[in-house]
Amino acid sequence: MIDFNPILEDIEPSKEEVVKVRGLADKLKDIINKNANKLNINAEAVLLGSVAKNTWLSNGNSEEGKGLDIDVFIKFPLTTSLDDLKSQGLELAHKCVDEADGTYEERYASHPYLTGFIEGYEVDLVPCYDITDSSELKSAVDRTLLHTLFVVDNLGAEQTREVRLLKRFMKMVGTYGSEFKVGGFSGYLCELLVIRYGSFLKVLEGAIEEWKPGYRIDLMNFGTGAQFKDPLIVVDPTDQNRNVSAALTLQKMAEFRVAAGNFLENPKKSYFYPKTLKYDRETLRDAFKERKTHSVLLAFHTPNIPADALHPQIQKTEKSLVKILENEDFKVMGSDSWSDEENTGIILLEMNTWKLTPFRKYSGPTVWDDDNTTRFLKKHPQSWVEGERWFTLTRREYQDAESLIQETLTPGGIRNLRVGKHLKKKLLEKYNLVDVLDLLIAEDADEDVMKFLYSYLHKNELLTRD
Amino acid sequence: MIDFNPILEDIEPSKEEVVKVRGLADKLKDIINKNANKLNINAEAVLLGSVAKNTWLSNGNSEEGKGLDIDVFIKFPLTTSLDDLKSQGLELAHKCVDEADGTYEERYASHPYLTGFIEGYEVDLVPCYDITDSSELKSAVDRTLLHTLFVVDNLGAEQTREVRLLKRFMKMVGTYGSEFKVGGFSGYLCELLVIRYGSFLKVLEGAIEEWKPGYRIDLMNFGTGAQFKDPLIVVDPTDQNRNVSAALTLQKMAEFRVAAGNFLENPKKSYFYPKTLKYDRETLRDAFKERKTHSVLLAFHTPNIPADALHPQIQKTEKSLVKILENEDFKVMGSDSWSDEENTGIILLEMNTWKLTPFRKYSGPTVWDDDNTTRFLKKHPQSWVEGERWFTLTRREYQDAESLIQETLTPGGIRNLRVGKHLKKKLLEKYNLVDVLDLLIAEDADEDVMKFLYSYLHKNELLTRD
């Protein structure tokens, strides 16, 4: 096995960083508690999340994408009304950002909270109820308290490094994150897996030896796992009726299994670092050309909704477009979608069939069914009998996929499409349907789009390292 | 309802014809009986079939295709050995043809018999056992005796005209004949239907009101119909374990139902006369062109086997070719086959897909299945995970249908084809694969082939009259 220490040096926060982050957290807590006292608000700030659990990845290495979130929650007694919790909680949060000289965004998870940008860190300031058991739960964010407590109590000091290795590995192979865009493993899930299996390597071995769709982990032996139909079931040790792994897709569960197998078979340090994807316009163009399919990109402006609402909408629309095309006999070899989560969404459709013959053979009622036969023959006088059934040729409405896609995106046609209302509005406003080969001729082809196309052509790219 | 008398005048044999046919039959019987006596053979000639039953259609109107068969059977006592029956029966038959100044062909149905061509008629001279019950049956031809007796006993004199109308109607709408080429209604079946329903019109009404797949007619109330799985079940009144309608296909049963409905809705004399099919090379070519499909004819020499063996072989090969094409993603819109039963067989394939993209998406094992995953990835290193399953692109062996058809007809490829050994030999010797549009350019395009193509394009043509 490889030596994990050099990796840990890169991903464990340095002493200086720990001091800085914990110092900032303490400072913010103090500000909140002081103000609560001053304003006579019965509330107390508490540090939760990966900083509290000591499982956060160093912010020094910016390659992993998103930076560190510091979770400072503002606990209210259970007797507080929800209105008071919201107003007083936000008041304290605003004052805290002000006094700490930060900026903020208002965000929403069951109720509004603030994300402050303070001293280079992102700090979530979240009002919550001070519960000790999931039966007292009043708001989904309250769970964070219980989760943090459980991990602090049950994860050995030595195991925090194992969690960090697992989270980092997950990030680098593309299976980390329970947001809809990924559908992968949450941080809490990684922690529970290390508690269950003992170490990073044992989690990988466990996944390979034991996991199958429907596999159950039940640390507290609640015996309630059978109620969940998800690919992986990890009963929440703080709530017997919740599956921590509910957001994990079969896809990401399978990908993790494959990556784990690849790593164990040939362990390499590079699994813990970003993979450099090598692509260029010409190579991409040649690859699409060689497939002799007809690939188009549908590009559109994204609506201003949270990423966790946007991605499922785009994916749903992608699947629905594929279905509409296949229902009309246009064979789709593959599809994918992408968004920068700010302005642009893209759906890729790679078609095996782009043009069709003008007629479609269509089956009607049996000859014994008089009423339906009469109706069918009235509509299709040129029918014939095959076996006991009427058949006819109908002229296709769409002889090429492009006209079908375009018709689907008109006000009249879009009711056939499964599409959320926000995205629907944007699609009806404007879209761009462009041939991938044409796009890859342009010398200023967008870098993100090229990366997306490369990932489409090399779907398993991140699961392995050479 | 229309007046059937003018039709009956055309299809009922004239008095002169009756005298002539019955006279010929009597003469042949006399020759056989005289020779049997002379040679001391214990056998007796008997007139059977439609002439004996008085249900034959006039030979005067030659349009209906095949002429009249006179069935003269040579009955042997049940104690005769099969060898004696064969040798003595054939001897008497040969002598009979000789003395009547005819020519003959030797044919085969359970055992050899002669078809004589005498005084312009075709006469089957068939040795058989003199049985009185199906339990005594020694050879399939013996049934003819029982069938003739049953019909003579049970069909009223007035009903013979009804049988003639039904047979003629069946012929003209294309549902008459139990041979494999047609898969329609036999003469005996028509007679039983008239006995069951009473008249031509009542048979048509019965078919419309009562028939569904699995419909049973059991004149003797044997109660044995449930054992048959055929589209229509008509328990043989002379054998409770035989379905007279066994050769009737669902296709022809349905077609008859449709034709019956068409006739009753708008009765016309023309249903009893051949329909003139109007077609010419240019119109056919335009019709195929308009469909924008790719239609090819596979033409080959037919093996020298009986028509009832040839047609099923060609049909089987047609279906098998379609399956081979569709398995490789070449969509077949329709197919048909034809033979002149002498030299040439033809299979028509109308393709919606003629060329394909070079790659095919191919699914492998799930990622949990280690052994098969290892094997699969060794073969397909460029695979990826979709859901829980491995997928890969494989290069198609055949990117166009023509090369697949041609490969299938090589000594190496033909084992994928379901084809009888006689036809297989002929196909490997030589075949011709020609584009229908090319064929229809040639000014000397074969009349039979054009009629075949016309019928393919107008499948219900015969079921209705304007």
Question: What are the DSSP calls for B102-126, one per residue?
Answer: -EEEEEEESEEEEEEEETTEEEEEE
Q: Is the CB of B460 less than 8 angstroms away from the CB of A383?
A: yes
**Rounded to 5 degrees, what are φ and ψ at A246?**
-60, -30
Q: State yes or no: pLDDT of B65 exceeds 50.
A: no
Type of residue at B237:
P
Tell me phi and psi for residue A441, to 5 degrees.
-80, -35
Query: How many Å lie between the alpha carbon of A367 and the closest alpha carbon of chain B?
Result: 6
Binding-site residues of B for ATP sit at 50, 53, 147, 167, 176
pLDDT tens digits for range A304-333: 998 888 999 999 999 999 999 999 999 999
Yes or no: say if A64 and A71 are a contact pair by the CB < 8 Å rule: no
Domain identity same for B325 and B416:
yes
β-pair partners for A348: A297, A336
Which of B208, B330, B357 is the best mutation test for A, with the most CBs of A within 10 A?
B357
Residues 6 or more apart in contact with residue A173 via CB below 8 angstroms: A255, A256, A259, A271, A462, A463
H helices, E strands: number in chain B: 16, 15
Would the CB atoms of A385 and B359 count as touching at under 8 Å?
no
Least CB–CB distance from B367: residue in A258, A367, A389:
A258
Asked if the structure places residue B453 within a domain, the reply is yes
A149: burial class by Cβ within 10 Å (0-12, 13-18, 19+)?
Answer: middle
In this complex, which of A352, A385, A460 lies closest to B258 when CB atoms are compared? A385
Domain shared by B427 and B336, yes or no: yes
CA-based nearest residue in chain A for residue B294: A357
Binding-site residues from annotation of A for Mg(2+): 69, 71, 124
Would B148 be classed as within a structural domain? no
CA B285 to chain centre: 28
Q: For residues B273-290, give the mean pLDDT.
A: 94
Residues of chain A contacting residue B210, judged by C-beta atoms under 8 Å apart: none
Q: Are residues B287 and B421 in the same domain?
A: yes
Residue A148 lies in a domain: no
CB-CB contact of B298 with B346 (8 Å): yes
Strand partners, B296: B349, B435
Are A351 and A296 spatial neighbours (Cβ–Cβ below 8 Å)?
A: yes
B119 & B24 share domain: yes
**What tens digit of pLDDT does each residue of B171-201 get?**
999 999 999 999 999 999 999 999 999 999 9
Residue B214: its H or E element? none
Give pLDDT tens digits for B123-144: 999 999 999 999 999 988 999 9
Q: What is the pLDDT of residues A355-377, one digit of tens each?
A: 999 999 999 999 999 999 999 99
**Is B171 inside any structural domain?**
yes
Helix orientation angle between A187-197 and A159-173, rounded to the nearest 10 degrees: 130
Answer whether A367 sits within 8 Å of B213, measured CB to CB.
Answer: no
Count of Cβ atoms closer than 10 Å to residue A224 Cβ: 18
**Residues A406-419 pLDDT 10s:** 999 999 989 889 99
- Structure tokens belonging to residue A233: 């079931």
The interface pTM score, or ipTM, of the predicted complex is 0.88
Band (pLDDT 50/70/90 cuts) for residue B435 is: very high
- DSSP per-residue codes, A140-182: GGGHHHHHHHHHHHHS-TTHHHHHHHHHHHHHHHT-B--STTT
Binding residue numbers of B for Mg(2+) = 69, 71, 124
Query: Is A357–B333 a contact, with Cβ atoms under 8 angstroms apart?
Result: yes
In a domain, A146, yes or no: no
Token pair in block for residue B453: 């193509």
- pLDDT score at B388: 96
- For residue B277 the two structure tokens come to 């099919």
Chain B contact set for A357 (CB, 8 A): 291-293, 333, 352
Which among B99, B119, B141 is the end of a domain?
B141
**Which among B257, B290, B356 is the nearest to A367, CB-wise?**
B257
pTM (2 d.p.): 0.80
Smallest Cα distance from B194 to chain A, Å: 21
The verdict on a CB contact (< 8 Å) between B357 and A211 is: no
The shortest C-alpha distance from B250 to chain A (Å) reads 5
- The alpha carbon of residue A63 is apart from the nearest alpha carbon of chain B, in Å, by 25
φ, ψ of residue B465 in degrees (nearest 5) = -130, 140
Q: Are residues A68 and A110 in the same domain?
A: yes
Report the CATH number at residue A450.
3.30.70.590
Phi, psi at residue B80, to the nearest 5°? -70, 140
A147 located within any domain: no
Q: Which residue positions of A form the known binding site?
A: 50, 53, 69, 71, 124, 147, 167, 176
Interface test with B, best of A256, A257, A295, A357 (most B CBs within 10 A): A357
Helix ranges (H only) for A40-158 are: 49-53, 82-99, 143-154
pLDDT at B443: 83
Percent of chain A with pLDDT over 90: 90
Q: Rounded to an integer, what distance in angstroms lies between the CA atom of residue B299 and that of residue B25?
A: 42
Q: How far apart are CA A325 and CA A351, in angstroms?
A: 9
CATH number at residue A83: 3.30.460.10
B433 and B306 in one domain? yes
| Chain A: closest CA distance from residue B305 (Å) | 27
Q: Directed axis angle between helix B187-197 and helix B159-173, to 10°?
A: 130
In a domain, residue A150? The reply is: no
Cα–Cα distance, B8 to B57 (Å, whole number): 9
Q: Do residues B38 and B111 share a domain? A: yes
Length of chain B: 466
User: Which residues are CB-neighbours of A246 under 8 A, at least 6 positions away?
Assistant: A228, A230
> Mean pLDDT across the stretch B202-223?
97
C-alpha distance from residue A313 to each of A355, A416, A455 (Å): 28, 15, 21
- A250: enclosing H helix or E strand: helix A250-265
Residues of A with CB under 8 A from a CB of B: 211-213, 231, 250-251, 253-255, 257-258, 290-293, 333-334, 352-353, 356-359, 361, 366-368, 383-389, 393, 458-460, 463
Domain-located, residue B119 = yes
Residue B409 CB coordination number (10 Å): 20
Q: Report the pLDDT value the prediction gives residue B69, as an integer from 0 to 100.
A: 86
Which residue has tokens 């509004």? Answer: A112
Checking DSSP bridges between strand B294-301 and strand B431-435, what pairing results, if any?
A: antiparallel
Closest Cβ–Cβ partner in A258, A357, A387 for B352: A357
CA distance B160 to A128: 97
Tokens, residue A199: 């170490």
State whether B299 and B259 are in the same domain.
no
Q: Where does residue B429 rank: exposed (0-12), middle (13-18), buried (19+ CB within 10 A)?
A: exposed
Are A385 and B358 in contact (CB < 8 Å)? no
- pLDDT band (50, 70, 90) for residue A60: low
Q: How far apart are CA B293 and CA B287, in angstroms?
A: 10
Final residue belonging to a domain, choices B220, B254, B274: B274
Residues of A in contact with B393 (CB under 8 A): 291
The answer to whether the CB of B400 falls within 8 A of the CB of B296 is no
CATH number of the domain where residue A373 is located? 3.30.70.1550
Residue B110 confidence (pLDDT): 81
Q: What is the mean pLDDT of residues A441-457?
A: 91
* pLDDT beyond 90 at A108: no
Nearest to B388 among A250, A292, A368 (CB): A250
> What region, left, alpha or beta, does residue B353 occupy, with left being phi > 0 and alpha being psi -120 to 50 degrees?
beta
Residue range(s) defining the domain that contains residue B74: 1-141
In CATH, what number is assigned to the domain containing residue B172? 1.10.1410.30
Q: Which of A388, A457, A461 to mutate to test the interface with B (most CBs of B within 10 A)?
A: A388
Which residues lie closer than 8 Å to B265 by C-beta, 6 or more apart?
A: none
Q: Are residues B364 and B410 in the same domain?
A: no
Are A387 and B254 in contact (CB < 8 Å)? yes
Q: How many CB pairs under 8 A join A and B?
A: 96
Strand partners, B45: B74
How much is the pLDDT for A109?
A: 80
Buried b (16+ CB within 10 A) or exposed e, A407-438: ebbeeeebeebbbbeebbebbeeebeebebee
Same domain, B364 and B413: no
Contact assignment for A388 to B292 by CB distance below 8 Å: no
Q: For the sheet containing A239-243, what is the strand order?
A: A215-217, A232-236, A239-243
> Could A385 and B290 be called an inter-chain contact, meaning their C-beta atoms sit closer than 8 Å?
no
Q: In terms of Cα–Cα distance, which of B74, B71, B7 is closest to B34?
A: B74
pLDDT at A67: 66
Do B251 and A459 count as a contact with CB atoms less than 8 A apart? no
B365-407: pLDDT as tens digits:
999 999 999 999 999 999 999 999 999 999 999 999 999 999 9
Q: Which residue of B has its CA nearest to A369?
A: B212
| String of DSSP letters for B172-205 | HHT-B--STTT--B-HHHHHHHHHHHSSHHHHHH
In chain A, which residues have their Cβ closer than 8 Å to the Cβ of B258?
367, 385
The answer to whether the CB atoms of A254 and B388 lie below 8 A apart is yes
Rounded Cα gap, residues B4 and B165, in angstroms: 8
Optimal mutation site among B173, B315, B385, interface A, most CBs of chain A within 10 A: B385
Do A258 and B212 lie within an 8 Å CB cutoff?
no
Of A274, A298, A330, the last residue of a domain is A274
Phi-psi region of A133 (alpha: psi -120 to 50; beta: other; left: phi over 0): beta
Query: Taking chain A, what is the end-to-end CA distance rounded to the nearest angstrom?
Result: 16
Based on DSSP, count helices (H) and strands (E) in chain A, helices before strands.
16, 15
Query: A331 CA to chain B: closest CA distance, Å?
Result: 10
Same domain, yes or no, for A290 and A175? no
**CB within 8 Å: B366 and A459:** no
The total number of structural domains that make up chain A: 4
User: Would you state the pLDDT for residue A111?
Assistant: 85
Tell me which chain A residue has its CA closest to the CA of residue B352: A357
Both B81 and B218 in one domain: the answer is no
Q: Which residues on chain B are in Cβ contact (under 8 Å) with A389?
A: 254
